[in-house]
């Protein structure tokens, strides 16, 4: 256990691919539940836990991005996806509404000699995202309004020639997200990925990967 900005966190080493390990900084894990992780009064405890969808996304990145690509990681959380993209040679901006989560990403990147830009961002604000080769969102469809906002961003991203990767374990807002895309004639393809988090003793969690754009 260590501290960042006076709050206790711990490093969690994650195997992403054969011979590739990354370390994220977390406040707790899913085994202990989110009630134990609210060290910061204004922090979002969901942001500082490693979720299966982030690992599923990170595992898929080597087949999707190339060195020099510009990646936007929406709702970046612990930053595993951003760190993996940076390890693969991409330019990465991690966006999250929780400043403490962004601080953990900054520190994790520094410790591993990686470069990740971080930026506080409200995905429901209506503010447009900057241009990117790939927009990534892992497990963000858990609220109807947020799911619709993500769908709006994906529609804009694909409309200007970019790609989007959405990882979803089947959250409440999934139907809202896909209905919005269908109404705007945005279609992609999907496939399942099963992952096991480091502390789950091999228990596999299914995650659907959705790819949009050429």
Please write the tens of the pLDDT for every residue from 102-153: 999 999 999 999 999 999 999 988 889 989 999 999 999 999 999 999 999 9
| pLDDT at residue number 46 | 66
Q: Is the pLDDT of residue 212 over 70?
A: yes
Q: What is the pTM of this model?
A: 0.90
The residue that leads in pLDDT, 36 or 21, is 21
pLDDT tens digits, 154-176: 999 999 999 999 999 999 999 99
Query: Could you give all domains of the chain from N- to C-terminal order, each with its CATH number?
Result: 2-212 (3.40.50.150)
The residues, ordered by sequence, that sit 6+ positions from 14 with a Cβ below 8 Å of its Cβ are 21, 22, 23, 24, 50, 55, 58, 80, 197, 198
Give CA 86 to chain center in angstroms: 13
| pLDDT at residue number 40 | 43
Confidence of residue 39 (pLDDT cuts 50, 70, 90): very low
Phi first, then psi, for residue 49 (nearest 5°) are -115, 145
Yes or no: say if 10 and 2 are a contact pair by the CB < 8 Å rule.
Answer: yes
Tell me what the mean pLDDT of segment 17-45 comes to: 63
pLDDT tens digits, 83-95: 999 999 999 999 9
- Gap between the Cα atoms of 174 and 61, Å rounded: 22
Give CA 214 to chain center in angstroms: 21
The residues, ordered by sequence, that sit 6+ positions from 20 with a Cβ below 8 Å of its Cβ are 84, 87
- Token pair in block for residue 73: 């990681």
133-148: burial string, b at 16+ Cβ within 10 Å, e else: bbbbbbbbbeeeebbb
């Amino acid at each position: 256990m260590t501290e960042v900005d006076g709050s206790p966190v711990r490093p969690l080493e994650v195997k992403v691919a054969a011979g590739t390990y990354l370390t994220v900084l977390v406040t707790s894990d899913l085994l202990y539940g989110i009630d134990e992780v609210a060290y910061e009064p204004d922090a979002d405890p969901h942001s500082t836990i490693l979720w299966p969808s982030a690992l599923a996304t990170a595992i898929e990145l080597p087949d999707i991005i190339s060195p020099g690509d510009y990646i936007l990681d929406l709702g970046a959380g612990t930053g595993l996806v951003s760190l993996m993209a940076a390890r693969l040679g991409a330019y990465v901006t991690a966006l999250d509404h929780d400043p403490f989560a962004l601080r953990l990403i900054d520190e994790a990147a520094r410790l591993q000699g990686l470069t990740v830009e971080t930026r506080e961002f409200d995905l429901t604000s209506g503010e447009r995202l900057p241009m990117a080769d790939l927009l990534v969102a892992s497990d963000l469809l858990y609220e109807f309004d947020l799911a619709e906002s993500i769908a709006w961003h994906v529609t804009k991203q694909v409309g200007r020639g970019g790609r989007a990767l959405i990882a979803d374990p089947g959250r409440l807002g999934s139907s809202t997200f896909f209905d919005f895309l269908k109404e705007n004639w945005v279609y992609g393809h999907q496939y399942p990925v099963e992952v096991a988090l480091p502390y789950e003793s091999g228990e596999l969690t299914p995650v659907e990967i959705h790819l949009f754009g050429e």
